[in-house]
Amino acid sequence: MPTMLVLGATSGIARAAARAFADSGWTLQLAGRDIQRLQEVAEACGGAEVFPFDALDSVSRSALWGLLPSCPDAVLCAVGLLGDQDCACREPDAALRVIKCNFTGLVPVLMQAAEAFEARGAGLIIGISSVAGDRGRASNYAYGSAKAGFTAFLSGLRARLWGSGVRVLTVKPGYVATGMLAGRRLPACIVASPERVARDMLRAVRTGKDVLYTPGWWRPLLALYCALPECLAKRLKL
């Protein structure tokens, strides 16, 4: 059975994805900051090995790959931190924390995975970005800029690895009913379940997609929004 390493495995999307891939025959390696919660996810998936990983800690980032008993066949990166934009405006360190957790802190381990997969001639890297990275918005530009960087990184990695046997899938969810949305009141029609995102992700892996918007209607909606001239977009205060 193929093995998948899940980074940030206690997040809502990661938990749903882990169950979906486990049900499809994948063996799981779960990594994250909270070992107790990782073990709960492992039990829900029928069993998995768990490993400590903190994208904000350079020692943890460097150590993870060496802790794995074997090189996985795939890596799913589901690490994410929404943060608070008002706080980020007042405190630069808070903005940097968001950027590090969503982008720069993930690069080292994904580069390790890419190197190992390329040497083997096979592998799959799945990065969960966000529709928030398609264009900067006043309400969340710290988070959005980090996701924009992560999207560009995955796109470049996909181009570099093309023809090597290694695939890179960029997943761009919209609003998802996870802890990130706690306290926010949004129309139910625009909020997807983690299970929906997991199903779409599994289907994208099977069909060989490069970029997945989930739900799919986010793709044309973001295309329209990104086509707006900056002089108009900045007035929307989204």
**Is the residue at 238 inside a domain?**
no
Whether 147 is covered by a domain: the verdict is yes
- Please list, in sequence order, all residues whose beta carbon lies within 8 angstroms of the beta carbon of residue 45, skipping any fewer than 6 positions away: 18, 19, 22, 28, 30
Question: Is residue 170, in this structure, part of any structural domain at all?
Answer: yes
Q: What single-letter amino acid sits at 80?
A: G
Number of domain units in the chain: 1
- 228-231 long-range Cβ contacts below 8 angstroms, 24+ apart: none
Q: What pLDDT was estimated at residue 99? A: 93
Q: How far apart are CA 41 and CA 175, in angstroms?
A: 22
DSSP string, 192-226: E-HHHHHHHHHHHHHHT-SEEEESTTHHHHHHHHH
How many Cβ atoms sit within 10 Å of the Cβ of residue 2?
14
Q: What is the pTM of this model?
A: 0.95
pLDDT of residue 41: 95
| Cα 91 off chain centre by | 25
- CATH number reported for the structural domain that contains residue 142 in this entry: 3.40.50.720
User: Residue 37: is it exposed, middle or buried by C-beta count within 10 angstroms (0-12/13-18/19+)?
Assistant: middle
Write out the residue range of the structural domain in which residue 178 sits.
3-233
Active site (catalytic) residues: 143
pLDDT tens string, the chain, 238 residues long: the values are 899 999 999 999 999 999 999 999 999 999 999 999 999 999 999 999 999 999 999 999 889 999 999 999 999 999 988 878 878 778 888 889 999 999 999 999 999 999 999 999 999 999 999 999 999 988 888 999 999 999 999 999 999 999 999 999 999 999 898 877 776 777 888 889 999 999 999 999 999 999 999 999 999 999 999 999 999 988 987 7
What are the residues facing 49 on neighbouring strands? 29
